[in-house]
Amino acid sequence: MESKIKKLLQPRKLGLGINVKNPIVMAPMTTFSANADGTVSEAELSYYKARSKGVGIVITATTYVSPSGKGFPGQFAGFDNNFLPGLKKLSETIKGEGALAILQMVHGGRMAMPTEIPGGQTISASAIPPERPGSMIPREMTEAEIQDTIKAFANTTKLAIDAGFDGVEIHGANTYLLQQFFSPSSNRREDAWGGSLEKRMAFPLAVIAEVKKVVKENGGDNFIVGYRFSPEEIENPGITLEDTLSFVDVLANQGLSYLHGSLMDFWQSSMRDKLNTKPVICKIMDKIYGRIPFIGVGSIHTPEDAIKALESGAEFIALGRELIMEPEWLDKIQTGKISEIKTTLSKNDKESLDIPEPLWNAIMSKPGWFPVIE
């Protein structure tokens, strides 16, 4: 076991010139804890400081790229220079603990909260509401709005560069706007932005191209650009695994730094085809075929979990809830205190774990999300 543990501590590379001290990534998780004006709060800085020591990469909670894209209360923003000082503090906090700092960027689309956006009207690829009670019917985006949103991702990338981040992650997962354009459920357009599978890829690919253009002009060769995606949807019509594998095949050739899956369980099989029991991640990595690094994620808690996941072929492993419960996960591995790694949360842990109050309240109000003990 001791020799296998070393796999969790070995340096990795992203591309040709980016050194990562180990394969462990802090997954992007919202804290619901930004200041009321959308700037990064002191509570968030403390939270990230506690969790950036040890891991190779920290991917932040997702920042919204335009006022119409705010997905939830307490989300921090990155759509103009007013947010630059806070973003700079965030990057410095993460990098000060030795991790690479990556800013995740999003537009909520139809999943934005009407009460949190100007005018209260959500927008999306098409005027199709989410399949949940009480959902607003979004307004179909105009060509001008599509172009403005593509530029918004580029502008936030420039802010990330100016703030000192090592990279950005384009959030194309978890039912937000980029996924809405890729999905046949939410995208019923018949123009250049929808219809065929290839046309449904057009918007995310345009965002990637514009982000890369900004990076080339301002960020240098070693600025990281990643892309996160959700492999399937349960809706019919919805994103199938076959759709995603075709998309991954294209994404792997876009000159990105990495791809990042969004899964609740690293080893889960298809949600849509119960007869297909091969893990989704293994199918994705087969399709990538070594062309681009892949970050795997999903209910990884113990060192044994992480080692098994790395042995699947994924170059990096992201920990989400586990790093909230155990900020010193890597430190305890490095210092031989593996038996002391926490995999549960006590109701008395809030202060000792530097968990912001809104995040703590969210955890406590959702039974089953975290393994909470008395």
What confidence tens digit (pLDDT) does each residue in 173-183 have?
999 999 999 99
pLDDT, mean over the chain: 95
Res 273 pLDDT > 90: no
Domains in the chain, number: 1
Q: What is the mean pLDDT of residues 138-154?
A: 98
* Backbone φ and ψ of 93, nearest 5°: -65, -45
Buried b (16+ CB within 10 A) or exposed e, 301-339: bebebbbebbeeebbbbbbbbbbbbbbbbbebbeeeeee
Report pLDDT digits (tens) over 81-119: 999 999 999 999 999 999 999 999 999 999 999 999 999
Report pLDDT digits (tens) over 208-245: 999 999 999 997 789 999 999 999 999 999 999 999 99
**Active-site option among 48, 64, 176, 258:** 176
Residue 1 is predicted with a pLDDT of 55
Going by pLDDT thresholds of 50, 70 and 90, the confidence category of residue 133 is: confident
CB half-sphere exposure, 262, CA atoms < 13 A: 19
Contact 310, 23 (CB under 8 A): yes
Res 302 pLDDT > 70: yes
Q: What is the pTM of this model?
A: 0.97
Identify the helix (H) or strand (E) that includes residue 101.
strand 100-106
Cα 108 to Cα 63: distance, rounded to the nearest angstrom: 10
Q: What is the mean pLDDT of residues 279-292?
A: 96
Size of the chain, expressed as the number of residues it contains: 374
Q: What is the mean pLDDT of residues 271-278?
A: 89
Residue 2 is predicted with a pLDDT of 67
Contact 172, 202 (CB under 8 A): no
CATH of the domain at 6: 3.20.20.70
Residue 3 is predicted with a pLDDT of 73
Contact 200, 145 (CB under 8 A): no
176 is catalytic: yes
Buried b (16+ CB within 10 A) or exposed e, 73-98: ebbbbbbeeebeebbbbbbebbbebe
DSSP per-residue letters across 159-181: HHHHTT-SEEEEEE-TTSHHHHH
Cα 357 to Cα 207: distance, rounded to the nearest angstrom: 34
Q: For the ranges 141-145, 184-188, 336-340, which has the lowest average pLDDT?
A: 336-340
Res 153 pLDDT > 80: yes
Residue 22 is predicted with a pLDDT of 97
Residue 266 is predicted with a pLDDT of 97
* Assigned token pair, 3: 């020799």
Cα 122 to Cα 66: distance, rounded to the nearest angstrom: 12
Res 67 pLDDT > 90: yes
Strand partners, 123: 139
Q: Please give the residue range of the domain that contains residue 267.
A: 2-373
Cα 332 to Cα 334: distance, rounded to the nearest angstrom: 5
* Backbone φ and ψ of 95, nearest 5°: -65, -30
